[in-house]
Chain A
Amino acid sequence: MSIETTDKVFLDANQDKPRIIYKTSGTITTDNIPVAGWVYGGLTIYLNQLKISAKNVIDIYVKDNQTSRTYRIPVLTCNSSNQYLLNITYDITGFLEPSLNNRVQKLSVDVQSRGGSTSDTFSVYVVVYSTRINENILIDNA
Chain B
Amino acid sequence: MNPETTDKVMGDTNSYLPRVLQKGVVTSFTQVAISSRYKNTASVTTKVLASNNPLVDCYLYTSGGGTSAVILMNYVTDNPDGSGFSESAHYYLDSTTSNGKVYARINIEIVKSTSTLPQAIYYVVYSTGFSDGAVL
Could you tell me which A residues sit within 8 Å of B by CB distance? 17-23, 25, 59, 61, 63, 68-78, 80-82, 123, 125, 127, 129, 133, 138
Q: Cβ of B88 and Cβ of A78 under 8 Å apart?
A: yes
Q: Select one of A20, A76, A81 contacting B74, CB under 8 A.
A: A76
CB distance from A64 to the nearest CB of B (A): 8
Closest to B84 in A: A82
Tell me which of B21-29, B30-38, B41-49, B61-69 binds A. Answer: B30-38
Q: Cβ of B132 and Cβ of A23 under 8 Å apart?
A: yes
User: Given A19-B4, A70-B94, A82-B34, 7 other A-B contacts at CB below 8 A?
Assistant: A20-B15, A21-B1, A59-B130, A70-B93, A71-B74, A71-B90, A78-B85
CB distance from B62 to the nearest CB of A (A): 19
Residue pairs across A and B with Cβ atoms less than 8 A apart, 6 shown, are: A21-B1, A59-B130, A63-B135, A68-B94, A77-B88, A77-B90
Q: Cβ of A69 and Cβ of B3 under 8 Å apart?
A: no
Q: How far is the CA of A23 from the CA of B56 in the complex (A)?
A: 16
Q: How far is the CA of A66 from the CA of B38 in the complex (A)?
A: 25
Contact residues in A for B109 (Cβ distance below 8 Å)? 77
Q: Which of B111-136 contact A (CB under 8 A)?
A: 111, 128, 130-132, 135-136
CB distance from A137 to the nearest CB of B (A): 8
Contact residues in A for B111 (Cβ distance below 8 Å)? 78, 82
Interface size on B, residues (CB 8 A): 34
Q: How far is the CA of A71 from the CA of B107 in the complex (A)?
A: 10
Q: How far is the CA of A20 from the CA of B17 in the complex (A)?
A: 6
Contact residues in A for B17 (Cβ distance below 8 Å)? 17-20
Whether B59 sits at the interface, judged by CB under 8 Å, is no
Q: Cβ of B131 and Cβ of A25 under 8 Å apart?
A: yes
Whether B76 sits at the interface, judged by CB under 8 Å, is yes
Q: Cβ of B56 and Cβ of A125 under 8 Å apart?
A: no
Q: Cβ of A72 and Cβ of B74 under 8 Å apart?
A: yes
Contact residues in B for A70 (Cβ distance below 8 Å)? 92-94, 135-136
Q: Select one of B85, B88, B90, B131 contacting A23, CB under 8 A.
A: B131
Q: Cβ of B37 and Cβ of A82 under 8 Å apart?
A: yes
Q: How far is the CA of A102 from the CA of B131 in the complex (A)?
A: 28
Q: Cβ of B88 and Cβ of A80 under 8 Å apart?
A: no
Closest to B33 in A: A80
